[in-house]
Structure 1
Amino acid sequence: MKIVLFGATGMIGSRIAAEAVRRGHRVVAVSRSGRAPLDDPQLNAVAADAGSAGTVAGLVRGADAVASALVPLRDGSDPRAPFTALYDAFLDGVRSGGVTRVVIVGGAGSLRVAGDTALKDTPDFPVAYRPEAGAHSALLDGLRTVEDLEWTSVSPAALIAPGERTGDFRVGGDGLLTDAEGNSHISAEDFAAAFVDEIEKAEHPRARISVAY
């Protein structure tokens, strides 16, 4: 497959790029810097603005799937409106480029923990992460109104960090996945494996899934 990946140099995006290349896919790795997340002939690094619909359209044309690991602003401001605007332009570019399949790295904060309570609304959720969680939650709400794209949002566990690729993880839906001790975690490497699985198999169109041990 030819996969165009936006946000390719971040902690999660770089691991998605590595996992896709590992499986033999051709990857166009897009970031503001244009830095290559890894050195491989199957990967082409490009510097571009994901908020320019015209630029996105030109980059994705002819791709089998588009992937996004874009993140909200982390400058202390409320990131919800800018993040929504970024994705509005980004998805317009995907449409204009003639691609219908788009897989997006979502957030864990909107996952449900007790009835209809979102993780981000629980007392123990770190205050510092609430703005970013709110931005991802608003994005998911917007995606759920999109009917002309085969989108999937993939949420990580409550804790995601660099680690080992085991290939052993669970895939769930809107509920927070926890282990027997009540912990919710996933390595970035295993999250990337689940993410590329979804790109390849397209098993959850127009839905949010979650990944954890």
Structure 2
Amino acid sequence: MSTITVYGSTGMVGSAITAEAASRGFAVTGVTRKSPAVVKDAVEGVTYVTGEISDTADVVAKAAATDILVLSVPGARDGSSVQPIIDAHTALIPALAEANVTARIFIIGGAGATETPDGTQLKDTPDFPAAYKAEADSFAEILDLWRAAPEGLDWTMLAPAPEIAPGEASASYNLGDDQPAGDFVSAGTFAKAAVDELGTPAHRRARFTVANA
């Protein structure tokens, strides 16, 4: 049985991935900033522990003890600085490489760094919402950091469609590489695609994206 450790396991996307992985028989550890005792809607069979993506040494230790490490931690959306999430990934990549971590690293990215047909990132198009620009910029930078990661790191980034919201998984989904695969994805569909990829890897050291069919 493969083991999965999910940072951001109580967020909209992270909780959906946690539940989907547990339902398929993975041994799942959910990492949360909250006390495990107060996790709402805890998934049966999941072990919850406390952790922060900014605690590099602890993330590396958790990565060394699992088969798959999922990083589902968004940047700040309340007007505060997004620099901490950039700093966390900047510190984590070389630390994982130095520790020779063999776990697969699965990062939840953002739609803003996906591209229009002419190669423009969505975050740089005129109609992109200003409220999400800073976070989109941060995850474009984070994508570049992972693309430059040492060859020994086995990473994948999955980005959502431009609109993502809570909801059950659709019967099928569409995948894309640099361009969005559609306009909308539910959290359930996103989680389904993520765990499909974790069970049968097809996008190693690459970013891909998903939308409801």
Q: Same fold (TM over 0.5)?
A: yes
Aligned residue pairs, count? 206
> 8 Å contact 2:102–2:154 — kept in the other structure?
no
Which consecutive residues of structure 2, in runs of 5 or more, have no partner in the other structure?
none
> 8 Å contact 2:64–2:102 — kept in the other structure?
yes
SS in 1 for 2:111: coil
Q: Could you list the per-position Cα deviations for residues 3-46 of structure 1 after superposition, in whole angstroms to 9, with x for gaps in the alignment?
A: 011111111000000000010101110011144452312x1100
Q: Could you tell me which residue of structure 1 aligns to residue 44 of structure 2?
A: 40
Cα offset, 1:93, TM superposition: 5.1
Instruction: Measure the CA separation in 2 of the matches of 1:107 and 1:128.
Output: 14
- How does 1:42-57 map onto structure 2 within 5 Å? 43-57=46-60
Q: Could you list the per-position Cα deviations for residues 151-193 of structure 1 after superposition, in whole angstroms to 9, with x for gaps in the alignment?
A: 1100000000011212410111001223xxxxx0010000001
Instruction: Measure the CA separation in 1 of the matches of 2:95 and 2:176.
Output: 29
Instruction: Measure the CA separation in 1 of the matches of 2:192 and 2:95.
Output: 26
Q: 2:154 aligned with 1:155, yes or no? A: no
Q: 2:32 aligned with 1:31, yes or no? A: yes
- Percentage identity across paired residues of the two chains: 36
Cα offset, 1:63, TM superposition: 1.0
Instruction: Measure the CA separation in 1 of the matches of 2:199 and 2:134.
Output: 32
Instruction: Measure the CA separation in 2 of the matches of 1:143 and 1:60.
Output: 16
Q: 2:106 aligned with 1:103, yes or no? A: yes
Q: Could you tell me which residue of structure 2 aligns to residue 16 of structure 1?
A: 17
Question: TM-score by structure 1 length?
Answer: 0.90
Instruction: Measure the CA separation in 2 of the matches of 1:69 and 1:6.
Output: 6
Aligned-residue CA RMSD (Å):
1.7
Q: Could you tell me which residue of structure 2 aligns to residue 210 of structure 1?
A: 209
Question: TM-score by structure 2 length?
Answer: 0.90
- How does 1:43-82 map onto structure 2 within 5 Å? 43-79=46-82, 81-82=83-84
